[in-house]
Amino acid sequence: MIVEMIQSMLAPGLMISACGLLLLGMNNKYSLVVNRISLLNDEKRKVLNKYESSDDSISDNVRLGSITKQLDKLVFRVKLVKNAVLSYTIAVALFVFTSILIGLKHVLFADSSGYIVMIIFLCGMILVLVGAFFAAYETIRGFEIINLEVEVDN
């Protein structure tokens, strides 16, 4: 009975570990995007100060426009990363809850069915899928920002 309980708790445990890796990657992305926003805001302030103290330069106007577009897209990317992180985090909570329920089921309710446990586990898996969609969409949007940066330099 104990071996069976441990075996049934293994799947949620593996998903907790997998989500931990996904969260690590998304938190890294979050830090990079926030850092990029900070750098662009700093550059925008410098361009605006330069713009106010001298004649308007076409290249300054173009760069300012590019920075503004990039900042808008980066803010949207941060929201996508936040949604992915929230999905993964809630999924981890559901997997932990599933493991607890499996343990309680085996200890307290040996004869009861595991429908509730299965539903909670499936909700966790759905949230992992939702997080993966947010992460993929965020990657696509990140490519658009790179195109904006390259456009200005050409």
Render pLDDT for 49-77 as a digit per residue (tens, 0 to 9).
Answer: 876 666 667 677 787 888 888 888 899 98
Are the beta carbons of 75 and 138 closer than 8 angstroms?
A: no
**Distance separating the N- and C-terminal Cα atoms of the chain:** 68
Integer Cα distance of 106 and 57 in angstroms? 73
Q: Give the pTM.
A: 0.72
Reported as a single tens digit per residue, the pLDDT across 98-116 is: 888 887 777 676 556 677 7
Structural domains of the chain, count: 1
Which structural domain, as residue segments, surrounds residue 94? Answer: 2-153
